[in-house]
């Protein structure tokens, strides 16, 4: 649910939860971002929290396929109900992880769950890399996950600044290291 906040989408009357519960169509909750993409924000309030069901998510996403080149689903870390519904609903999965053992272990569980649900894992992106000795290397992560690392994004203070300014870092600070990566 934080994505809407990070992108500067104001309080919205309808959200993903309304689509999942049948109170709104997927088109009613599409919000146009100034950078040219559309977002379906999740509601922040705990009283609207739902356990997503993959068949409902698939049906909702299929309604967008004829109009969208890509549909990206940003889901919570770990293997909670939201993440698993997203894995079951997706055709492909791109795992975004940090270079520490706990994050990589969670990423491995996600890769295995994707395999169980016949969701193709296209690779991984290592995020928030600081270059510290304690971080796992790209090669170690590829070996551990069994999928190629498609990209590495360094820790960059401009990401936090852009988030605070409610704008994607690639728009707000296009020359920053994270944007370039």
Phi and psi at residue 93, in whole multiples of 5°?
A: -130, 130
Task: Please give the residue that has the higher pLDDT: either 168 or 46.
Answer: 168
pLDDT given at position 58: 62
Q: Half-sphere exposure of 49 toward its Cβ, with a 13 Å CA cutoff?
A: 7
Q: Could you give the CA distance from residue 12 to residue 38 in angstroms, rounded to a whole number?
A: 14
Instruction: With CA atoms as reference, report the closest residue to 169 among 159, 177, 156, 154.
Output: 159
pLDDT tens digits for 156-171?
Answer: 999 999 999 988 999 9
pLDDT tens digits for 62-105?
Answer: 666 667 777 777 777 777 777 787 788 788 999 999 999 999 99
Give me the mean pLDDT over the 3-32 stretch. Answer: 81
């Amino acid at each position: 649910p934080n994505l809407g906040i990070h992108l500067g989408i104001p309080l919205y009357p309808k959200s993903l939860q309304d689509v999942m519960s049948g109170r709104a169509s997927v088109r009613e909750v599409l919000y146009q971002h100034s950078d040219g993409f559309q977002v379906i924000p999740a509601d922040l309030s705990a009283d609207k929290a739902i356990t997503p069901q993959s068949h409902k998510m698939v049906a909702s996403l299929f309604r967008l396929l004829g109009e969208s080149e890509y549909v990206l689903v940003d889901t919570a870390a770990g293997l909670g109900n939201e993440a698993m519904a997203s894995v079951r609903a997706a055709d492909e999965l791109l795992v975004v992880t940090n270079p520490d053992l706990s994050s990589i272990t969670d990423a491995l569980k996600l890769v295995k769950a994707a395999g169980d649900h016949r969701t193709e894992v296209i690779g991984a992106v290592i995020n928030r890399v600081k270059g510290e000795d304690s971080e796992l290397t790209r090669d170690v992560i590829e070996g551990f996950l069994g999928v190629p690392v498609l990209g590495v994004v360094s820790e960059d203070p401009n990401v936090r600044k852009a988030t605070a300014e409610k704008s994607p870092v690639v728009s707000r600070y296009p020359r920053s290291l994270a944007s370039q990566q």
